[in-house]
């Protein structure tokens, strides 16, 4: 019990140090000093990224292949852009939108008779504690092995390690949000299925429709808050996996490159870490999308069942049309659906990029 409590304190401490959004960790409290600290952190990220690129260009880039230089510098810049934009978006611009999200979630929980949750973030930490411990273990092991296998790079890679850790928490936040919405979509679907069979379904059925619409509205707000970050993460994962995969292939196929098992394992572990992050985003949001769209199929099946009952059929038709008309899908910037298909597209794109890089080298 003490160990779990210490882990909770560690999580909250990390969020304070990295200036992660206060609206996520403490949605009912406001601290103006947090925004000043976040501003200082943004300046620090820019400075450390420039210092990292300057140091690498003096000591490592001059003797490296052009392809590796471009991939490594691109990855560092993309990670810094993500960290800066995410801090601005969730701490300054969309702070109130995140708080409204949790306020709506409480109203939905009241309708579904879910016990009051004082802090949704810490509730998510408690529910996903084993997953979080596993993610931390994998990340720490990868960073430790990276430092061990590349001691000369560790100094300049340290800002990247911290920012990658911040990306890890962004993915965890998104996974928690998707899980919470998926659970509530499922409960509303089951409640509607039970209500529509009652002798007088009108009032409770309208309630289910109202709160389903509210959940879809939350998805719209999440798209506005998280979509650009998801788009950047898509590019970060692609560039980093291509870079690490290319280094793995280079260490095996190039006679001039000295094969190092430690370097090979490090690059392979980073590729696996990034792909696990991509899978967690795509599959958790994809499952939430499925639950949000399920009422269309459910209403179609029930419509056939209630032949001759015009009242219930009208309710089913209205609910089905409402679900079709609402924006119920996680989508980055309105043109990139975030679901299982995105993960497959990422794998295909990464494979194509690796082939292009290898051909460019030849």
Supply the pTM of this predicted model.
0.90
pLDDT per residue over 80-112, tens digit each? 999 999 999 988 888 888 888 888 999 999 999
Phi, psi of 337 (to 5 degrees): -60, 135
Neighbours of 160 (CB within 10 A): 21
pLDDT given at position 78: 92
Number of residues assigned to the chain: 362
Looking at per-residue pLDDT, the higher value among 353 and 256 belongs to 353
pLDDT given at position 259: 47
| Percentage above 70 pLDDT, the chain | 94
Looking at per-residue pLDDT, the higher value among 75 and 261 belongs to 75
255, pLDDT greater than 60: no
pLDDT per residue over 3-13, tens digit each? 677 877 888 78
Q: What is the mean pLDDT of residues 225-238?
A: 88
Neighbours of 170 (CB within 10 A): 21
pLDDT per residue over 293-340, tens digit each? 999 999 988 888 888 778 888 888 999 999 988 877 888 877 778 888
pLDDT given at position 212: 92
Phi, psi of 332 (to 5 degrees): -85, 115
pLDDT given at position 254: 62
CA distance 285 to 331: 10
Q: What is the mean pLDDT of residues 234-241?
A: 86
Burial class of residue 303 (count of CB atoms within 10 Å of its CB; 0-12, 13-18, 19+) = middle
| Cα 155-161-162 angle, rounded to 5 deg | 110
Q: How confident is the model at residue 262 (pLDDT cuts 50, 70, 90)?
A: low
3-state secondary structure of 337: strand
Phi, psi of 199 (to 5 degrees): -60, -40
DSSP letter assigned to residue 62: G
Write down the residue that tokens 């992050």 correspond to. 277
3-state secondary structure of 20: coil
pLDDT given at position 247: 75
207, pLDDT greater than 60: yes
């Amino acid at each position: 019990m003490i160990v779990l409590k210490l882990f909770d304190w560690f999580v909250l401490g990390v969020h304070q140090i990295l200036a992660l959004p206060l609206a996520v960790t403490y949605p009912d409290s406001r601290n103006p000093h947090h925004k000043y600290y976040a501003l200082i952190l943004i300046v620090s990220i820019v400075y450390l990224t420039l210092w990292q690129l300057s140091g690498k260009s003096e000591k490592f880039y001059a003797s490296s292949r052009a392809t590796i230089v471009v991939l490594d510098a691109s990855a560092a810049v993309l990670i810094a852009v993500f960290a800066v934009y995410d801090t601005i978006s969730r701490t300054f611009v969309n702070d109130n939108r995140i708080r409204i999200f949790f306020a709506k979630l409480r109203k939905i929980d009241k309708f579904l008779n879910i016990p009051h949750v004082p802090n949704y973030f810490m509730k998510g930490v408690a529910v996903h504690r084993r997953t979080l411990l596993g993610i931390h273990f994998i990340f720490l092991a990868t960073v430790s092995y990276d430092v061990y296998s590349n001691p000369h790079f560790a100094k300049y890679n340290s800002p990247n390690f911290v920012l990658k850790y911040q990306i890890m928490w962004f993915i965890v936040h998104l996974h928690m949000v998707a899980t919470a919405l998926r659970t509530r979509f499922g409960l509303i679907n089951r409640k509607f299925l039970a209500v529509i069979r009652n002798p007088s379904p009108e009032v409770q059925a309208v309630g289910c429709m109202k709160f389903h619409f509210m959940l879809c509205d939350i998805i719209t707000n999440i798209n506005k808050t998280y979509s650009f970050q998801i788009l950047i993460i898509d590019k970060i994962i692609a560039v980093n996996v291509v870079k690490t995969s290319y280094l793995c292939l280079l260490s095996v196929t190039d006679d001039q490159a000295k094969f190092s098992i430690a370097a090979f394992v490090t690059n392979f572990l980073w590729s696996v870490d990034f792909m696990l992050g991509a899978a967690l985003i795509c599959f958790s949001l994809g499952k939430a999308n499925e639950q949000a769209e399920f009422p269309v199929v459910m209403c179609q099946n029930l419509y056939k069942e209630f032949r001759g009952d015009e009242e219930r059929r009208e309710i089913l038709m209205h609910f089905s049309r409402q679900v079709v008309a609402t924006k119920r899908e996680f989508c980055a910037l309105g043109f990139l659906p975030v679901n299982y298909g995105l993960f497959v597209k990422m794998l295909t794109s990464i494979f194509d990029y690796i082939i292009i890089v290898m051909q460019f080298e030849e």
